[in-house]
């Protein structure tokens, strides 16, 4: 793989005490081109803008997919990736659905690790912060006809970030919408297609206008069952049982944080259920006092406790006095403990960057 290093690092310009999310970027990026039926040799080059035709097919028809993963710097100074092979496998899964040629997963993991090794100094050290890694593929044909592209560009960029909802674990509010639909049966809700996110922005803005941080999506057929929340999978604790929507409808993204949380919960002896959850069940559990907690899970947010769920304009469910509950706190500590190397990784989830 060709490597062209930057002449002068941007690292001194990074304010690690005020990172935000996506404010700064690493020195380098990985680029791989697909043309004539094959992926070409990858290159690592200085991070920068690129030339793009105004007729680029992705700009018009959104044939694009992406992933999100993180690298963490532990107290021991070691930088660790968290389950990166899962993200690469899921990227290929999304590629299949979006008619994009797949990548060699082992080769891609090696190239990813080389990029992170080169820019690992951008990985912050305070708890909750990380080096966010964004692999993505987009169609590159300069063509206005609606078709499957013949050329593609695969890239990986990095950005040092704070936790998506702030450094301190705190609750957020969400709004359950029956007006809008995120995903339909047979659609692309189960893959990380760029179009899934662009079409969700209006509903999210409407929720924000009502005073809520995120949108809760209900199923596209009946607006009866809970699907996802904004950029996260969603979980509830009812009668000391952790419950999350099942993936078998094909409308929910199979989150890697979701999978990790469910595994850890079972390891800790929690009762766990993966099944369809009617929003009415949440209302009933709130009224009879059995609804204890709700929290989102995702790469960007990690664990995001929910303190308030709005519905039907003006009505709210308040969870755990709008405070972080013990279940969310415990799973947050377990997950971050493994990611930062504070807890022994018994599952082989972390990959150290040498």
pLDDT of residue 213: 95
Of residues 314 and 84, the one with the higher pLDDT is 84
Identify whether the C-beta of residue 152 lies closer than 8 Å to the C-beta of residue 139: yes
Which pLDDT band holds residue 290 (cuts at 50, 70, 90)? very high
Query: Is residue 65 pLDDT above 80, yes or no?
Result: yes
pLDDT in tens, 125-181: 998 899 999 999 999 999 999 999 999 999 999 999 998 887 788 999 999 999 999
pLDDT of residue 354: 85
pLDDT in tens, 38-53: 999 999 999 999 999 9
Q: Are strands 241-244 and 302-311 parallel, antiparallel or unpaired?
A: unpaired
pLDDT of residue 331: 97
**CATH 3.20.10.10 residue spans of the chain:** 172-339
> Region 82-104: what's the mean pLDDT?
98
Q: How far is residue 197's CA from residue 56's CA, in Å, rounded to a whole number?
A: 19
Average pLDDT, the chain: 96
**Which residues make Cβ contacts (< 8 Å) with residue 21, sequence separation at least 6?**
132, 159, 161, 162, 164, 300
Q: How far is residue 257's CA from residue 269's CA, in Å, rounded to a whole number?
A: 18
pLDDT of residue 240: 98
Tell if the pTM clears 0.85, that is, is over it.
yes
Identify the CATH number of the domain defined by range 172-339. 3.20.10.10
Which pLDDT band holds residue 314 (cuts at 50, 70, 90)? confident
Of residues 169 and 238, the one with the higher pLDDT is 238
Q: Between vectors from CA 39 to CA 33 and to CA 41, what angle results, nearest 5°?
A: 75
pLDDT in tens, 291-301: 999 999 999 88
**Which residues make Cβ contacts (< 8 Å) with residue 116, sequence separation at least 6?**
71, 79, 81, 131, 133, 158, 353
Which pLDDT band holds residue 58 (cuts at 50, 70, 90)? very high
pLDDT of residue 8: 97
**CATH 3.30.470.10 residue spans of the chain:** 2-161
2-161 CATH choice from 3.30.365.10, 3.30.830.10, 3.30.470.10, 1.10.10.10: 3.30.470.10
Q: How far is residue 208's CA from residue 31's CA, in Å, rounded to a whole number?
A: 36
Q: How far is residue 237's CA from residue 270's CA, in Å, rounded to a whole number?
A: 10
pLDDT in tens, 2-37: 999 999 999 999 999 999 999 999 999 999 999 999
Percent of the chain with pLDDT over 90: 95
- The tokens for 332 are 């947050």
Which pLDDT band holds residue 313 (cuts at 50, 70, 90)? confident
pLDDT in tens, 195-221: 999 999 999 999 999 999 999 999 999
pLDDT of residue 168: 80
Query: Is residue 318 pLDDT above 80, yes or no?
Result: yes
């Amino acid at each position: 793989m060709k490597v062209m290093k930057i002449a002068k690092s941007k690292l001194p310009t990074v304010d690690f005490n005020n990172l935000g999310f996506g404010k700064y970027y690493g020195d380098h990026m990985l680029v791989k081109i697909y043309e004539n039926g094959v992926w070409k040799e990858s290159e690592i080059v200085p991070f920068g803008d690129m030339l793009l035709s105004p007729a680029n097919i992705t700009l018009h028809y959104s044939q694009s997919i992406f992933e999100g993963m993180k690298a963490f710097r532990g107290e021991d100074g070691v930088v660790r990736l968290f389950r990166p092979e899962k993200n690469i496998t899921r990227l290929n899964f999304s590629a299949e659905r979006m008619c994009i040629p797949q990548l060699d997963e082992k080769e891609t993991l090696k190239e990813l690790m080389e990029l992170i090794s080169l820019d690992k100094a951008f990985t912050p050290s305070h708890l909750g912060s990380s080096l966010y890694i964004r692999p993505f593929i987009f169609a590159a044909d300069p063509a206005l006809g609606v078709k499957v592209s013949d050329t593609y560009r695969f890239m990986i960029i990095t950005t040092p970030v704070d936790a998506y909802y702030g450094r301190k674990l705190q609750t957020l509010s969400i709004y359950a919408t029956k007006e809008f639909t995120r995903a339909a049966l047979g659609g692309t809700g189960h893959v990380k297609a760029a179009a899934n996110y662009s079409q969700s922005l209006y509903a999210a803005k409407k929720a924000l206008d009502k005073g809520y941080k995120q949108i809760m999506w209900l199923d596209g057929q009946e607006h009866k069952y809970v699907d996802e929340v904004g950029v996260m999978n969603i979980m509830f604790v009812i009668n000391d049982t952790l419950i999350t929507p099942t993936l078998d409808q094909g409308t929910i993204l199979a989150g890697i944080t979701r999978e990790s949380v469910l595994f850890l919960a079972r390891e800790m002896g929690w009762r766990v259920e993966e099944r369809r959850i009617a929003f009415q069940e949440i209302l009933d559990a709130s009224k009879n006092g059995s609804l204890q907690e709700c929290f989102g899970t995702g790469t960007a947010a990690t664990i995001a406790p929910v303190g308030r769920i709005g519905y039907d304009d003006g009505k709210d469910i308040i969870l755990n006095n709008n405070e972080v509950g013990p279940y969310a706190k415990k799973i947050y500590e377990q997950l971050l403990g493994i990611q930062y190397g504070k807890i022994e990784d018994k599952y082989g989830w972390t990959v150290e960057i040498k």
